[in-house]
Structure 1
């Protein structure tokens, strides 16, 4: 299946500090490309993989599930651990959930977490119908480009594949359940105006992780895809400062 132009993965070999970035549900590496480029320009080794089923077509994504997406970021983390002295993991939305799961399952391999509007709960009662609805309707309207900045567009599907969404919803429950297992330093950046993931999701992460080193940053000028929004520069600066502080 051809990959959309601009949806390709990003990789940069730099110094001994590695950073793995994870994009969101129905999105592509394009949504995190500026963030990845800023980290690479600072001399870090960066990996931004394209998750299976993303960046091609939503019907193909409907044939993939959370284990497929997690396996891809797990593989990328293994590569970075093999070449770097320490590795940070960041993510947007579902990418934040993937990052948290890596921290939960491989604590010795994750030095710190950088999350933007992480999705560990969606709080939508309609999701209870997914086990049945996914067999009746293959997709619903998309969730892409929740961005305040005019002229900025997220490269993502215009449909939400429901079998894939159900897989993600089930996985979110496990990630939320195991939040106390997260002990790494955490930089959590979230938008008070987010039309995709409720603020309660970030609040849940902050309330339940066991991390002692926690920084919360409000992205006041941005919507959900803050990495392409007015606060993109702020995310990049704070991430670089976070990595620098923890690596000396």
Structure 2
């Protein structure tokens, strides 16, 4: 699981659970071949260095969900990415996406506060590079909000949860499933099983993680685990795409 707030309220837990069952933007995927996306939350510096270096070896691009307030900051487990690295990765074709500005759970934000968080994050990222498009969202702490899904659908092509599984058939664009690429949650066999399920369904597998380092935080992965996932994709002829690229291929 991704890092959680200390004690999610009962309302937050209920809202997150209900988010799984009430779809506001259903889409039948129409991709021609299985797809995988590698996504990183909060954007630790190591994801921009070690992580991207490995992605480059496979000619792969990632999606990085940024909270502007965490940029250039130490955040308990890692150093946040620099503003300059965000710009460089954007120019190299990686996707920069939204994770709210202050990293507050959507379950704790009313409509006006969520809109303000999104706008502040958008303005911050565009102040770094006006060409950055903020088209996709990931729920901070993985806590989806049944009350905010319709609002997010008006602003973003997709919102990503941390409920594991392959996205296949008809999916909820505002509650996409994702699988942890986190050493304490998955091993090589688990990665292989996830890819086998992906190929069987011709679906879309989304991995999420945080830092990438030889000694990762409880929410990160080693370079070895990331390489294994990329090798597994190559062996099965799975297309590696950013979230935005996968949505295009799926006909969203």
Q: TM-score, structure 1 length as denominator?
A: 0.32
Structure with the larger RCO, 1 or 2 (CA within 8 Å, 6+ apart): 2
Q: TM-score, structure 2 length as denominator?
A: 0.32
- Say which structure is richer in helix: 1
